[in-house]
Homo-oligomer: A and B are copies of this chain.
Amino acid sequence: MGRPSTLEDKRREFLPIVAGAFAELGYRRLTSAELAARCGVGENVLYRIWPDKHAMFLAALEWVYLASERTWERLLAEPGNGESAFLRLLSHEARHLGEYGLHRIVFAGLSETDDPRIRAALQDLYAKFHAFVRRQLSAHRVAGAPGGLDAETAAWAIIGLGTVANVGRELGSIGASRRESILWDAGRLVAEGRIDAEADGPPRKKRASAEKKRRK
């Protein structure tokens, strides 16, 4: 009886928009009016889907992490022509950094760490992120790579490298080639525990013509 609810459809439809908006503006600066406008509906519609703004942010946080992870998983599933999955991931991130705005949302959240829900969500996100990196790192090492640092530490260190690279890009303080060096050179060093003199750059895709990527 009555009209069937479409809220679940809308939630799925709006999530990427919501996540993008939070990533772009941060928590405080994104108003519910602006968010509703971006979704093309009235504010009350959003409030029918989520109880309050915090919930919208949490949903965005979760979504953006899952989106990133999905990208990585897809990347790892690709046929790795000789290279370890870990190195492929590293070289990918060295070039396409933070496509989904993960770090931006995280930074926004870090200014709201007094809210226990947001705090818990961030802890969870970092735990999953760290576990993911660590898992890839271990697999990489088992596959024959040396490995100097203890894996737990190395995984955190690699997350740190990604973070500076993102901040540096955001501020325009670190150029593309430098970012690549930070992720690839320092990343391999941290992962493998030594400098590999022979290879001096992340392996490019076949044709170097794929340079012009979408940069919004």
Contact = CB atoms under 8 A, between A and B. Distances in A.
B111 A173 contact: no
A164 B171 contact: no
Contacts of A161: 157, 160-161
A27 interface: yes
Interface string A168-187: 10111110001001100110
Contacts of A108: 111
Dominant SS among interface residues on chain A: helix
A108 B113 CA distance: 11
Interface residues of A, number: 49
B174 A156 contact: yes
B164 A157 contact: yes
A24 to B, nearest CB: 9
Interface string A115-148: 0000100110011001000000000000000001
Contacts of A112: 26, 29
Interface stretch (A43-51, A70-78, A189-197): A189-197
A159 B127 CA distance: 21
A89 interface: no
A173 B126 contact: yes
Nearest to A127: B173
Contacts of A99: none
A148 B167 CA distance: 24
A83 interface: no
Interface in A148-164: 148-150, 152-154, 156-157, 159-164
Contacts of A168: 126, 156
6 contacts: A28-B111, A156-B178, A160-B161, A160-B165, A163-B163, A186-B190
